[in-house]
């Protein structure tokens, strides 16, 4: 019987949406009795050294010949074609979003990653994506047959609604995500500067470790416009701390320029929070209009207008929160997501996944 070997580069405990998705699959499979294990790949992907590529090939080579190799897209898209071809009969790619769409890459890096990922995907026996938008992109731009693609939307847990208890008169805003260019925090800061006359406090929870220059720029910009006492970066937070942040939030904000899905949106929806978001991925597009105000990515003026609207009109804020809580009851659960991914890995071997 085949087992799933889930190969993931870097630190699986890193507090990002992609790693969170991966961790949850492994947890659910353990509870479901599906044989699966984590295989740690070097952390240099998506720009691996020659030594790390050799190490990766050796790690994959010592797996059992009937194991299914599920490769996280952060590594898979950077696989040289000969490496992907060697294990083609066992490879399943998990693509959160194409590597070439990461903000801040040099033109040469974009071209390299796009070509590398296209060639590697041509050798996958199956491809799992986290959104319909990513499926459509892989079919249109990466020559992946739609029939080879399985969509496994991120799941949620059944949780109580946030209390949405403001401390004092200020409306509490929350954004969650690593401090990297793609998250659009520079746009968010400009939007907040435009509504500085309103009473609000902004908390941004996310790792500052991936893009130090972005962090430095944001901190300098916030200081220069006089908002350092109202915009707080709290860094990476553990699940309990994140729970408490959601619980005391009045409005959830996502300012991303692009997301393969945007798991934090479903987390906020599951807590019954009103949302202001950019239309930057499938998660935003799937949000009920009654629960969220949606604006174009990169448009600080539109983001400021949407935030001001919900800050200024508490009854609308409560109405959208109620709509979010109603929609939360229809969200997929993590067990459903794990079952879909396991099926994409194992069904072709005649194994029934339950």
Could you write out the DSSP letters of every residue in 216-284? HHHHHHHHHTT-TTTEEEEES--HHHHHHHHHT-SEEEE--S--SS-HHHHHHHHTT--EEEES-SHHH
At residue 318 the predicted structure's pLDDT band, cuts being 50, 70 and 90, is very high
Q: For residue 109, what pLDDT is reported?
A: 95
Radius of gyration of the chain (CA): 21
Q: What is the pLDDT of residues 212-259, one digit of tens each?
A: 999 999 999 999 999 999 999 999 998 889 989 999 999 999 999 988
**pLDDT over 60 at 85, yes or no:** yes
CA torsion 157-160-161-166 (nearest 10°) is -120
Q: What is the pLDDT of residues 171-213, one digit of tens each?
A: 999 999 999 999 999 999 999 999 999 999 999 999 999 999 9
Would you give the DSSP letter of residue 38?
E
Domains of the chain: 4-155+333-349 (3.40.50.2000), 171-328 (3.40.50.2000)
**pLDDT over 60 at 353, yes or no:** no
Helix (H) / strand (E) containing 150? strand 149-151
Q: How far is CA 344 from the centre of its chain?
A: 20
**pLDDT over 90 at 265, yes or no:** yes
């Amino acid at each position: 019987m085949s087992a799933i070997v889930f190969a993931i580069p870097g630190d699986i405990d890193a507090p990002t949406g992609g790693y969170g998705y991966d961790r949850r699959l492994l947890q659910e499979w353990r509870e479901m009795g599906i044989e699966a294990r984590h295989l740690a790949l070097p952390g240099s992907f998506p720009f691996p050294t020659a030594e790390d590529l050799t190490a990766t090939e050796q790690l994959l080579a010592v797996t059992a010949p009937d194991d299914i190799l599920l490769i996280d897209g952060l590594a898979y898209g950077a696989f040289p074609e000969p490496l992907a071809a060697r294990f083609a009969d066992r490879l399943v790619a998990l693509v959160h979003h194409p590597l070439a769409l990461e903000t801040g890459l040099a033109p040469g890096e974009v071209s390299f990653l796009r070509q590398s990922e296209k060639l590697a995907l041509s050798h996958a026996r199956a491809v799992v994506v986290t959104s319909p938008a990513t499926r459509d992109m892989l079919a249109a731009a990466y020559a992946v047959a739609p029939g080879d693609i399985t969509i496994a939307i991120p799941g949620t847990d059944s949780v109580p609604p946030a209390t949405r208890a403001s401390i004092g008169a200020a409306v509490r805003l929350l954004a969650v995500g690593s401090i990297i260019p793609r998250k659009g925090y520079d746009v968010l800061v400009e939007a907040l500067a435009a509504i500085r006359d309103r009473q609000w406090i902004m908390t941004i929870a996310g790792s500052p470790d991936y893009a130090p220059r972005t962090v430095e720029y944001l901190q300098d910009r916030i200081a220069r416009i006089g908002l350092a006492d109202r915009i707080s970066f709290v860094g990476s937070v553990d699940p309990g701390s994140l729970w408490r942040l959601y619980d005391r939030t009045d409005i959830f904000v996502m300012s991303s320029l692009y997301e393969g899905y945007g798991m934090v949106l479903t987390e906020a929806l599951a807590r019954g929070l009103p949302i202001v978001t950019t239309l930057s991925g499938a998660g935003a597009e799937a949000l009920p209009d009654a629960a969220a105000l949606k604006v174009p990515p990169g448009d600080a003026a539109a983001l400021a207008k949407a935030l001001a609207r919900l800050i200024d009109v508490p009854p609308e804020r409560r109405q959208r929160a109620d709509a979010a809580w109603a929609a939360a009851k229809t969200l997929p659960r993590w067990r459903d997501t794990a079952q879909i991914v396991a099926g994409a890995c194992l069904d072709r071997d005649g194994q029934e996944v339950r």
